[in-house]
Amino acid sequence: MSRACTVLSKEQILVGGVVSVVDKEKCAACLSCVRICPYNVPVIDAEGAADIEIARCQGCGICASECPAQAISLQHFTSEQINAKSRALLETINGAQRPLRQHKPPEPPPSAR
Protein backbone atom coordinates (compact mmCIF):
# COMPACT_ATOMS: atom_id res chain seq x y z
CA MET A 1 0.00 0.00 0.00
CA SER A 2 2.75 2.45 0.94
CA ARG A 3 4.61 1.66 -2.32
CA ALA A 4 1.44 2.37 -4.31
CA CYS A 5 0.99 5.70 -2.48
CA THR A 6 4.59 6.64 -3.28
CA VAL A 7 4.01 5.97 -6.97
CA LEU A 8 0.66 7.78 -7.05
CA SER A 9 2.03 10.83 -5.26
CA LYS A 10 4.41 11.61 -8.14
CA GLU A 11 3.35 14.21 -10.69
CA GLN A 12 4.89 12.21 -13.52
CA ILE A 13 5.55 8.51 -13.94
CA LEU A 14 8.19 7.48 -16.41
CA VAL A 15 7.85 4.10 -18.12
CA GLY A 16 10.18 2.41 -20.59
CA GLY A 17 9.96 3.56 -24.17
CA VAL A 18 9.76 0.02 -25.52
CA VAL A 19 6.59 -1.94 -24.87
CA SER A 20 4.85 -4.98 -26.30
CA VAL A 21 1.74 -4.56 -28.41
CA VAL A 22 -0.75 -7.33 -29.25
CA ASP A 23 -2.37 -7.73 -32.66
CA LYS A 24 -5.67 -9.05 -31.35
CA GLU A 25 -6.67 -10.37 -34.79
CA LYS A 26 -3.74 -12.81 -34.65
CA CYS A 27 -4.06 -13.77 -30.96
CA ALA A 28 -5.12 -17.39 -30.40
CA ALA A 29 -5.60 -16.93 -26.63
CA CYS A 30 -3.08 -19.70 -25.94
CA LEU A 31 -2.04 -18.08 -22.63
CA SER A 32 1.70 -18.39 -23.37
CA CYS A 33 2.31 -14.69 -22.80
CA VAL A 34 0.14 -14.69 -19.68
CA ARG A 35 2.15 -17.55 -18.19
CA ILE A 36 5.64 -16.43 -19.19
CA CYS A 37 5.61 -12.70 -18.41
CA PRO A 38 7.81 -12.18 -15.33
CA TYR A 39 5.77 -9.07 -14.44
CA ASN A 40 2.30 -10.65 -14.81
CA VAL A 41 1.22 -8.02 -17.32
CA PRO A 42 -0.69 -9.84 -20.11
CA VAL A 43 -4.29 -10.84 -19.45
CA ILE A 44 -7.00 -12.29 -21.66
CA ASP A 45 -9.66 -9.63 -22.12
CA ALA A 46 -13.42 -9.93 -22.51
CA GLU A 47 -13.06 -10.44 -26.27
CA GLY A 48 -10.81 -13.47 -25.68
CA ALA A 49 -7.55 -11.88 -26.81
CA ALA A 50 -4.39 -10.99 -24.93
CA ASP A 51 -4.18 -7.47 -23.58
CA ILE A 52 -0.95 -5.82 -22.42
CA GLU A 53 -1.22 -2.72 -20.27
CA ILE A 54 1.41 -0.42 -21.70
CA ALA A 55 2.13 1.40 -18.43
CA ARG A 56 3.03 -1.87 -16.70
CA CYS A 57 4.97 -3.53 -19.52
CA GLN A 58 8.72 -3.50 -18.94
CA GLY A 59 9.52 -4.11 -22.60
CA CYS A 60 11.61 -7.21 -21.93
CA GLY A 61 10.27 -8.89 -25.11
CA ILE A 62 9.93 -12.38 -23.64
CA CYS A 63 6.24 -12.62 -24.55
CA ALA A 64 6.92 -11.49 -28.13
CA SER A 65 9.57 -14.14 -28.64
CA GLU A 66 7.33 -16.87 -27.18
CA CYS A 67 4.03 -16.04 -28.89
CA PRO A 68 3.33 -18.93 -31.32
CA ALA A 69 0.99 -16.75 -33.39
CA GLN A 70 3.52 -13.92 -33.66
CA ALA A 71 0.76 -11.66 -32.43
CA ILE A 72 3.01 -9.60 -30.16
CA SER A 73 5.56 -7.08 -31.34
CA LEU A 74 7.75 -4.72 -29.41
CA GLN A 75 7.26 -1.14 -30.46
CA HIS A 76 10.29 -0.01 -32.43
CA PHE A 77 11.41 -3.63 -32.94
CA THR A 78 10.39 -6.16 -35.61
CA SER A 79 9.84 -9.86 -34.84
CA GLU A 80 13.02 -10.68 -36.76
CA GLN A 81 15.04 -8.36 -34.54
CA ILE A 82 13.57 -9.86 -31.36
CA ASN A 83 14.18 -13.39 -32.61
CA ALA A 84 17.79 -12.46 -33.42
CA LYS A 85 18.23 -11.10 -29.90
CA SER A 86 16.67 -14.27 -28.40
CA ARG A 87 18.90 -16.51 -30.52
CA ALA A 88 21.99 -14.54 -29.49
CA LEU A 89 21.00 -14.82 -25.83
CA LEU A 90 20.42 -18.57 -26.11
CA GLU A 91 23.73 -19.03 -27.90
CA THR A 92 25.47 -17.11 -25.12
CA ILE A 93 23.78 -19.23 -22.46
CA ASN A 94 24.52 -22.49 -24.31
CA GLY A 95 28.10 -21.40 -24.88
CA ALA A 96 28.51 -20.71 -21.17
CA GLN A 97 27.08 -24.13 -20.32
CA ARG A 98 29.19 -26.09 -22.80
CA PRO A 99 32.30 -26.35 -20.56
CA LEU A 100 30.11 -27.56 -17.68
CA ARG A 101 28.59 -30.33 -19.84
CA GLN A 102 32.04 -31.47 -20.92
CA HIS A 103 33.33 -31.47 -17.37
CA LYS A 104 34.36 -34.94 -16.21
CA PRO A 105 34.04 -35.82 -12.53
CA PRO A 106 37.37 -36.46 -10.75
CA GLU A 107 38.60 -40.06 -10.48
CA PRO A 108 37.79 -41.65 -7.09
CA PRO A 109 40.82 -42.21 -4.81
CA PRO A 110 42.46 -45.70 -5.14
CA SER A 111 41.13 -46.70 -1.69
CA ALA A 112 37.53 -46.34 -2.92
CA ARG A 113 37.99 -48.59 -6.00
Count of residues engaged in binding ligand SF4, rule: CB under 6 A? 26
Q: What CA–CA distance (Å, rounded) separates 69 from 13?
A: 32
Tell me: does residue 43 bind ligand SF4 (CB under 6 A): no
Q: Which stretch binds ligand SF4 (CB under 6 A): 7-15, 66-74, 83-91, 103-111?
A: 66-74
Tell me: does residue 65 bind ligand SF4 (CB under 6 A): no
Residues that bind ligand SF4 (CB under 6 A): 20, 22, 27-33, 37, 39, 41-42, 50, 52, 57-63, 67, 69, 71-72
